A and B are shown apart, each in its own frame.
Chain A
Amino acid sequence: MQAYIARRLLALLPTLLFASIIVFVTVRLIPGDIIDMMLSQNDVSAGKMDREALVAALGLDKPIWSQYLTWVGRIIFHGDLGNSLWQTTPVTEQLAARLPVTFELGLLAVLIGLTIALPIGVYSAIRQDTAGDYISRSFSILMLAIPSFWLGTMVLVIPSIFWGWSPEVSYIPFFEDPIGNIKQMLLPAVVLGTALSAITMRMTRTMMLEVLRQDYIRTAMAKGLPERLVVVRHALRNALIPVVTLIGLQAPIIIGGTVILEQIFGIPGMGLLLLDAVNQRDYPIITGVFLVVGVAVMLINLVVDLSYGLLDPRVRVRS
């Protein structure tokens, strides 16, 4: 198992290198007129920062390779992502405040998604080609097509028109009022979770169908075990392994989804931080969020891969 973990970690290195280059190059594309816009938009010309100072603050006055090395070096050795241009606080401080919020929303969404997807997926598989199967499959294709920002909007508009209900405007931190916080997070998490459940449901159904045809299922049935027990203990356990991988693959979709839902429901997570930074053209924050999101997705996939090896001994022996 150690060798397997070491191999997986080593394989991560080139990907991390490329990711850092992608982040660096993308944000380096800042055209010159944007710097002028930054200067005029945020009124820093009032003695605080002139053009050269801003160019120097962005590090744009040095050759590109040296900029890259300085940037990577600072991250690796000092954990320093630079300072916000307008608030002059470290980017890492802002990220540390926002990351847990997004993480909570994403985790809740995954839990809700699984709660919806697993039972329906299993039902769909054991009652293959019945009306119930068709209904749940159509539902899942439909959920794939509904954009979460529309669902989120409708969830806000409909209750407000019919019952005059609207969600809390200001954010309730978890440690001040855990119940209020969860209540507030629940609605966006349900919207995101429903979207996630669609693809998970399909996967669960496919895997269950495959597993249910195996010999050991027939054996279990033949020796007279109750269907419930066979389905839950013999079939579902084995069918779940690819479903776990799927959750890892969905990590980018989950994070992308939280950006939109944070915007709709006014939840101060990474997504809202990014959107605010984009509006203010605060590039150190944009870079920071971009990098952290990419690395987070890679780490989630690493954890998923490792748990995959833990769940299925064949994986670590084979590779």
Chain B
Amino acid sequence: MSAVITAPIGVARPKPAGFLRRLFRDKPLGAAGGVIFMLFLFCGIFADVLAPFGMNEISPINRLKPPSWQFPFGTDNLGRDMLSRCLYGAQLSVIIGITAASLATFVSVAIGIATGYLGGKVDLIMQRFVDAWMSFPDLIILIVVVSVVGPGMPQIICTLGLLLGIGGSRIIRSAVVSVRENMYVHAAQSIGATTPRILLKHILPNILPPIIVLFTTRVGAVILAESGLSFLGLGVPPPAPTWGGLLSGGGRTYMFQGPWLALAPGLCLTIVVYATNVFGDALRDLLDPRLRGSR
């Protein structure tokens, strides 16, 4: 009898080692995505060491050189090494991706817990607000906000964090709503635990799986959104080599003479977003079976 009572009712917490084994055995594609993602983080963090040339190192004799051993990704119209620029681009993407995704996740969790656990009028009003917010295309909100606050890295990070955070609050809210009705939450309420304690000790640990999944998929979404914005010339201002920025502006004029200028940044972007997507999907399948099939 006592065994029944003490058995955990919530989601079993996965152990890291066993979890990794399951990831590689059951989800080889997702594991590959995870490895690529780690590689991308590594490249971003150590870009200064890895890059053979400086971020904006100009070399007039090496203008528009096709890919070679010296310049694996070719050079641009000012003789800048595309490999180095793509590596520094990865650095910017890592910084923006991780910070904005963290902010977005934090906002989602804050709104999701407040509306999902407290419910009532706050929830009702907040849900209509989220409805309205989500009927604006992400890109349009970003463009409008940037038109007001001006382009720049801190602005982009805050805007993206807030933007994706509000959208993602739905996922957290639904997780909170399903956890809220568990026996252990009622038990905590009945022995008089305070609301902050219940939220931190009982709700939060049990919605960790969707939070991790949300964070992973947000990294990809942030990188994609930032590059789109930089492509339109509204992201991190040049000469910072963001992947989106490399595909627009000056580079664009010379793409017809040097198609490798269009190839490298686009491929980097596609591979990283692809990797985050499959990694996120695999994590979701393993950690949070409830969300399977939804996006």
How many angstroms between the C-alpha atoms of A190 and B259 in the bound complex?
A: 21
A residues near B271, Cβ cutoff 8 Å: 145
How many angstroms between the C-alpha atoms of A217 and B60 in the bound complex?
A: 69
Interface residues of A in 6-61 (CB under 8 A from B): 14-19, 21-22, 26-27, 29-31, 34
A158 within 8 A of B: yes
Contact stretch, chosen from A118-126, A233-241, A255-263: A255-263
Instruction: State how many angstroms separate the Cβ of A188 from the closest Cβ of chain B.
Output: 15
Closest to A260 in B: B228
Please tell me if the beta carbons of A27 and B144 are within 8 angstroms of each other in the complex.
yes
How many angstroms between the C-alpha atoms of A145 and B138 in the bound complex?
A: 17
B183 within 8 A of A: no
Which of B131, B137, B140, B141 is close to A18, meaning CB atoms less than 8 Å apart?
A: B131
Which of A31, A154, A297 is close to B266, meaning CB atoms less than 8 Å apart?
A: A154
Instruction: State how many angstroms separate the Cβ of A192 from the closest Cβ of chain B.
Output: 13
Which of B128, B137, B274 is close to A145, meaning CB atoms less than 8 Å apart?
A: B274
Closest to B267 in A: A150
How many angstroms between the C-alpha atoms of A157 and B258 in the bound complex?
A: 10
Instruction: State how many angstroms separate the Cβ of B31 from the closest Cβ of chain A.
Output: 15
A276-319 contact mask (Cβ, 8 Å, vs B): 1 or 0? 01100101001001100110011001000000000000000000
Q: For A142, A150, A158, A281, which residue has the most chain B Cβ atoms within 10 angstroms?
A: A150
B133-144 contact mask (Cβ, 8 Å, vs A): 1 or 0? 111111111011
Please tell me if the beta carbons of B247 and A290 are within 8 angstroms of each other in the complex.
no
Known: A147-B228, A147-B269, A149-B244. A297 touches B147 (CB 8 A): no
B178 within 8 A of A: no
A253 within 8 A of B: yes
A275 within 8 A of B: yes
* Number of chain A residues whose Cβ lies closer than 8 Å to a Cβ of chain B: 52
Please tell me if the beta carbons of B129 and A18 are within 8 angstroms of each other in the complex.
yes
Interface residues of B in 255-295 (CB under 8 A from A): 255-256, 259, 262, 265-266, 269-271, 273-274, 277-278, 281, 293, 295
Which of A142, A144, A257, A260 is close to B232, meaning CB atoms less than 8 Å apart?
A: A260
B residues near A274, Cβ cutoff 8 Å: 140, 143-144
Please tell me if the beta carbons of A260 and B255 are within 8 angstroms of each other in the complex.
no
Closest to A145 in B: B274
Please tell me if the beta carbons of B148 and A34 are within 8 angstroms of each other in the complex.
yes
Closest to A160 in B: B256
Instruction: State how many angstroms separate the Cβ of B76 from the closest Cβ of chain A.
Output: 14
Please tell me if the beta carbons of A252 and B137 are within 8 angstroms of each other in the complex.
yes
Grouping DSSP codes into helix (H, G, I), strand (E, B) and loop, the B interface class, with mixed when no group exceeds half, is helix
Instruction: State how many angstroms separate the Cβ of A69 from the closest Cβ of chain B.
Output: 18
B11 within 8 A of A: no
B141-164 contact mask (Cβ, 8 Å, vs A): 1 or 0? 101111111100000000000000
How many angstroms between the C-alpha atoms of A30 and B141 in the bound complex?
A: 15
Instruction: State how many angstroms separate the Cβ of A148 from the closest Cβ of chain B.
Output: 8
Known: A150-B269, A256-B138, A256-B139. A26 touches B145 (CB 8 A): yes
Which of A150, A157, A253, A286 is close to B137, meaning CB atoms less than 8 Å apart?
A: A253
Please tell me if the beta carbons of B140 and A255 are within 8 angstroms of each other in the complex.
yes
A residues near B244, Cβ cutoff 8 Å: 147, 149
How many angstroms between the C-alpha atoms of A298 and B128 in the bound complex?
A: 12
Please tell me if the beta carbons of B266 and A275 are within 8 angstroms of each other in the complex.
no
B residues near A290, Cβ cutoff 8 Å: 136, 140-141, 144
Closest to A161 in B: B259
Instruction: State how many angstroms separate the Cβ of A150 from the closest Cβ of chain B.
Output: 4
A153 within 8 A of B: yes
Please tell me if the beta carbons of B132 and A15 are within 8 angstroms of each other in the complex.
yes
Which of A27, A30, A150, A199 is close to B247, meaning CB atoms less than 8 Å apart?
A: A150
How many angstroms between the C-alpha atoms of A233 and B216 in the bound complex?
A: 40
Please tell me if the beta carbons of B274 and A294 are within 8 angstroms of each other in the complex.
no
How many angstroms between the C-alpha atoms of A18 and B130 in the bound complex?
A: 9
Known: A141-B277, A153-B247. A22 touches B136 (CB 8 A): yes
A residues near B128, Cβ cutoff 8 Å: 14-15, 18
A residues near B278, Cβ cutoff 8 Å: 141
Known: A22-B133, A150-B247, A150-B269. A259 touches B140 (CB 8 A): yes
Closest to B278 in A: A141
B residues near A253, Cβ cutoff 8 Å: 137
Interface residues of B in 101-135 (CB under 8 A from A): 128-129, 131-135
Closest to A270 in B: B140
Closest to A144 in B: B277
Interface residues of B in 217-256 (CB under 8 A from A): 220, 224, 227-228, 231-232, 234, 244, 247-248, 252, 255-256
How many angstroms between the C-alpha atoms of A289 and B262 in the bound complex?
A: 31
Residues of B within 8 A of A (CB): 128-129, 131-141, 143-150, 220, 224, 227-228, 231-232, 234, 244, 247-248, 252, 255-256, 259, 262, 265-266, 269-271, 273-274, 277-278, 281, 293, 295
Q: Can you list 30 A-B contacts (CB < 8 A)? A: A17-B132, A21-B132, A22-B133, A29-B148, A34-B150, A141-B274, A141-B277, A144-B274, A145-B270, A145-B274, A146-B266, A147-B266, A147-B270, A149-B248, A150-B262, A150-B269, A153-B252, A153-B262, A157-B259, A157-B262, A199-B295, A252-B135, A253-B137, A256-B139, A259-B143, A260-B139, A274-B144, A290-B136, A294-B135, A297-B137
